[in-house]
Structure formats: structure tokens, C-alpha cells
Structure 1
């Protein structure tokens, strides 16, 4: 059974209940001071606590989407993603292939023209050779005859690390939120391209072009928009693309908007940080190249590079988020450029978690919709 399976969670909970009952039932028999009785008590307590711990861990993973599989959890997911051709007679090597379609959860109406559609896709980078899985939300208007010649703005949506792309659909509800906001007239219909920034698992590349390694920044700056634009009706003019992310994805979103304003007219970082970390999950991202190291620091970039013509949104909480002071400092740094525009969402309280981001996603989608062109 899979790590995220409801059956796995149910089995773990059942085992915890059985062990608890067994411990209560057998405890009088093990009340003696013999070595065997003491060993039995220790064994029962250890087994009960272990299964309880596993149950809580599985439930937390279900709620927050940290790991997608046992291999992902154990760090054994080492191979790059591969594009799998599921369509008979389809040409090999195409940059984007749809492998599954589904309706938007909770949408009224069964047709895509009334509730939109989510497509699971495999994407391969033409220039970077990076392959990854993503989910694409297409609004109802995309399927309506009166909009058949219209192109739509698009926003890349990134998870944190390690994160799962599926969580953006099922836990953070991006498609459903976009549908509701558009129906209420609070944002324009947009295409959402949802994936995780971990395109070379299990390594956390922080959206950096690693010397001799994965060219992650180039994938997001060129290959991904090219692949999506070649398959879907996305606007071709400047100002058609934006990018949103939380945590690691938020750092990536801000960095890509700063480094590539000609591609991303707006970038939103939810609970973002402002410099690439160095830890066991990242390894050596820069291989001693000080220029690359400095460029990855968003504060340094704003101070030393020409100010990019782009819009940024940052979020934090006065209580519960560790990035609060860094976020205030970043806002002032952006304001000093007098060209790059910055907005913020500052909550009174909220932790680094899905519940906080669900509160920030609706205004973030409204914000980014107002900054992208409809061509």
C-alpha cells in the first residue's frame, strides 16, 4: 500500500488501537518483577508508541503532502522523471503530453465548459533535459465556443520542498479557488501549471542552474513556458505569465520573477525565504562560484543588479512565521529600486503550513490576475 493511501493510514490506526487494547488487557499478567515480565511491558509500550507515532506521521503527511511515496520518504527516489507516451501513435520526444484528465473537485456541471478541467501532464525540457510531472488547470472559458480563438494568461504554481504537485490540487485547492474567484468576477480566467520545484528528486536544487548538474532555473525560465505555450492557448506577448509558490516554491517564484522579468511579469512568494540554503538536501549548489552564490541571494540581486520591471508579492505572519523580519527588510529593499513593484499580505498569526496558505491563496490569485495581460 502506498504512503498516501487511506488504507495505509486506516491499517496503522487499527494497529495502534489493537495494541492499546492488548496492552491494557495483558498488563496485569506482566505486573511481575521477572525479567520476562519487564521485557514484555517494555515491548508492548514500545510497539504501541511506535505505531501511534507512525499513525500521526501518516496523518500529517496526508494533510500536508510532504512525501508522495515510500521511496520519496526514504530518499531512494534518485532517478529523473521520464516522459511516458500513453497515446497510440503519438510522436516521441514532444515537450508535453497529457496522460489523464479530471473535473475540478466540487465544480457544478460535468462538462469542462461549465467547471473547467485539470489535466495531469508529463513535461520534458527541450534544452535542459529535465522531465517532470505537472497538473494543468484549464478554466471553463477555455472550452467555450465563444472563446475558441482567445489566449489566456498563465501562472506557474510551485509547492515547497519536498512537496507533491497533487497537494496543490487536492489540499490547497488552487483550481477550485480560481474557478470560484473567476465566477465571482474577482479574477480573470487563467491557466494554472502546478508542479513542485524538485524536478531532480531527491535533490533540492532551489531553482538554481547547478554547475555540471540540473539546470533548474533554465527549465522554469524557458523550457516550461515553451512546452506549455506549444500545447495550450497561452498568451504570447510579454505580461502573459506569472509565478506563485510557497516556502521553497515561494523563493523560486520571487527569484524567477527578478531574474527573468521578460518571462514572468509577476511573482508571489507565500512564506518565502530570500536566499538559497545549503544543507544535506541541496548539496553544493554553486561549486565555489561566488557570482552564482550572490545572484541567488535576492537582497544582493536587488542591490547590485539593474532593477527588473516586474511585480512581487510577499506574505508572512507577525506571529508564527520565521521570515517576518526578513520579509519587512525585503519589502524595503524592493521599494528602494523605484522600478520593481512590491505588495504584501501580513497576517496577524499563522504558521508555516497549508492552513495559512489557504488563507493567502485567494487574494494572491486576485493580485496576480490583475497584473497579467489577457491577449
Structure 2
């Protein structure tokens, strides 16, 4: 049974209840002195507490999807077992030289089992031609992609990033990006877009902060060059900057803003939900810059705004007056963006650094993205 399975949660919760009941029942018998009685009391207390903590942890993980599998929880790299077709496939088949489709699933929307009514979600593996990075991702294709009226037409695309150490499944189950995109289009508030959903941790378990690490993972290159090329080679999406946007939360939000700022020739619009504005440097990142100050400066968005010529592109940043730690830095970011770049914001009265807050921000953020991207 998987880590996020409700059956696992039910079994562990039932075990916690059973052990609590056993403690109440057998405690009088174990109240006498002696090594056996003391050991019994210690064993019952430990077992009850461990199962209780496990049940609470599983419930929290199911709600926020910090980890998507047992292997992810224990930091084990999962073998995908994928054979890449280097001959290329038919257009739209996700079987290009640099992308392989390994599974499909139905979006959780009305009519989701019929692609022309609910769209489709492809699980793919992207192989970076330049970076050499290989990463799993999910590609949401809207219903219009399969409708005759849109046959032969290209669509705008948005890269969607989780935080660290989140999984791509967070974007499907916890943050509900496909469902929200579907609802916004049906409500006439957004245009259909292809969503490419993955985590920024493309070299797990290391948090590379979307940096090209000297002698290490070239994460910036993967997101700025390889990923758009692979997607455009497999699906009907545009290839120009005006066709592409990028959005993320927390670490993913920082990555989205940075990639958009440094590569306006690739991404026309960038959204940072609860983002921070310079690369983290801690035990999860390791040595990102190898002592090179110019690389550290490049990863600092405020430094770029102050020291580089304005780059263009559109930015959306979010924060809250109570509950977020990025309010002051977000206001500084807004002040420092200069034309030809443009900046917008969502400032909530209150909201923490969590899925509940981001679910309030994603609908207007997708509408904002849709208004700034074109299909051709």
C-alpha cells in the first residue's frame, strides 16, 4: 500500500486506538513492581505513542502531500524503467527524442473520462538534451486539445513547479491545478493552456534552487531550454516566449520568478506564490556557487533588478499581511521592477505558507497567466 493510501492511514489509526484500549485494560496488571511489569508499561506507552504519531503524520501528509511515496519519504531514488524512443514519434504522441510518455490518467473533472470533455493527464519523462537531466513530469492537456474545432491549433503552455521537497503529485492532488484550470476555462475567465507539472528538485534529494551548479546539475538550463524544447517537440504548443509562462509556490515560486527574469526570451510571464527572492544556501542545497560571487549574484533577484538592465516580461507575486514571512521582501520586489517589465501582486489579509493559501491564489494566478500568453 502506498504512503498516501487511505488504507494505510486507516490501519495505523486503528492500531493506535487498539493500543490505547490495551493500555487502559492491562495497566492495572502492569502496575506492580518488577522488571517484567515495568517493561510492559514502557512497551505499551511507546507503541501507543509511536502509532499515534504515525497516524497524525500520515494524516498531515495526505492533506499536504509532503511526500508522495515510501521511497520519497526515505530519500531513495526511484528507478523509472523507461525505454526512450530516439526515432521520434507522431506529433502529439509524447514520444519525441527528449520526452517519453509512460502513463495517462483522467482529470478529476466532470466528463473526465472523455478527453474532449475533461482533457487528459500524461505522465512523462523529460530528458534534457543540453543539461543531461532526466525528470518525471505530468502534462495536463485541456479538453480543447482534443476537440475538432481546435485541430491543428497550438496552445499556450505553463510550467508549474512545487516547493521543496514536494512531489509533482502535490500539484494534482493537493493544489488541483488541472481541476482549477478546467473550472476557469468553463467559467469564461481563462483560455485553455497546457500545464507541465513537476518539482524543481530534478536532482533529488538535493535542492539545487534552479541553479546551474558548477560541475553539478544544470537545473537552470533544464528549465530555461530543455523542458520547453521537449514539450514543444511532443505537443501542440507554441515555441515563442509569448506562448510560455511559469508558476510555482515557495521554492518553485522563486525558481519561476528567476527563470522568467533571466530568460525573457523563453518565458513571457512568471508567477511566484509565496516566493523568496534569492537562492537558499543550507545543508539541503550544498555548495551551489563554489565561491563564485557572480553566480551568487545571478541567483539573487533583487541584485538583478538593481544591477542589470530591465529585462521585460511580466511578474505576479503573492504574499499576505499576516502569516507570510515574505511580505517586506515582496513589497521591495514590486518597487524595484522597472519598465519594460511589469509586475502585479496578490496580497491577502491573512494566509500562511501552506496549501490552503495557495489554493486561494491559484485561480486568479491562472487567469492572470492566461491573459498574458498567446496561442500563436
1:319 aligns with 2:311: no
Alignment of 1:11-90 (within 5 A): 11-77=11-77, 84-85=82-83
Given the two structures, how large is their TM-score scaled by the length of structure 2? Answer: 0.94
Distance 1:93-1:145 versus aligned 2 partners, 3 A rule: closer
For the Cα contact (< 8 Å) 2:208–2:217, is it kept in 1? yes
* 2:291 aligned residue: 288
SS in 2 for 1:119: strand
Structure 2: gaps of 5 or more residues: 90-94
Distance 1:56-1:70 versus aligned 2 partners, 3 A rule: same
1:103: Cα distance to partner? Answer: 1.7
Q: Paired residue for 2:178, among 167, 172, 175?
A: 175
For the Cα contact (< 8 Å) 2:318–2:330, is it kept in 1? yes
* 1:142 aligned residue: 145
* 1:124 aligned residue: 127
RMSD of aligned C-alpha atoms? Answer: 1.9
1:330 aligns with 2:333: yes
1:44: Cα distance to partner? Answer: 1.3
For the Cα contact (< 8 Å) 1:125–1:223, is it kept in 2? yes
Cα distance in 1 for residues equivalent to 2:81 and 2:256: 25
SS in 2 for 1:268: strand
Q: Paired residue for 1:164, among 163, 167, 183?
A: 167
1:183: Cα distance to partner? Answer: 1.1
Cα distance in 2 for residues equivalent to 1:236 and 1:248: 26
1:284: Cα distance to partner? Answer: 0.4
Aligned residues: 371
For the Cα contact (< 8 Å) 2:96–2:230, is it kept in 1? no
Between 50-59 and 187-196, the greater mean CA deviation after superposition: 50-59
* 1:358 aligned residue: 359
Cα distance in 2 for residues equivalent to 1:265 and 1:341: 10
Distance 1:353-1:109 versus aligned 2 partners, 3 A rule: closer
Between 192-201 and 55-64, the greater mean CA deviation after superposition: 55-64
For the Cα contact (< 8 Å) 1:107–1:176, is it kept in 2? no
Cα distance in 2 for residues equivalent to 1:102 and 1:277: 35
SS in 2 for 1:46: helix
Q: Paired residue for 1:298, among 296, 301, 317?
A: 301
Alignment of 1:185-334 (within 5 A): 185-334=188-337
Given the two structures, how large is their TM-score scaled by the length of structure 1? Answer: 0.94
Between 194-203 and 167-176, the greater mean CA deviation after superposition: 167-176
* 1:6 aligned residue: 6
For the Cα contact (< 8 Å) 1:153–1:372, is it kept in 2? yes
SS in 1 for 2:372: coil
For the Cα contact (< 8 Å) 2:112–2:119, is it kept in 1? no
1:233: Cα distance to partner? Answer: 0.7
* 1:348 aligned residue: 349
SS in 2 for 1:38: helix
1:104: Cα distance to partner? Answer: 1.3
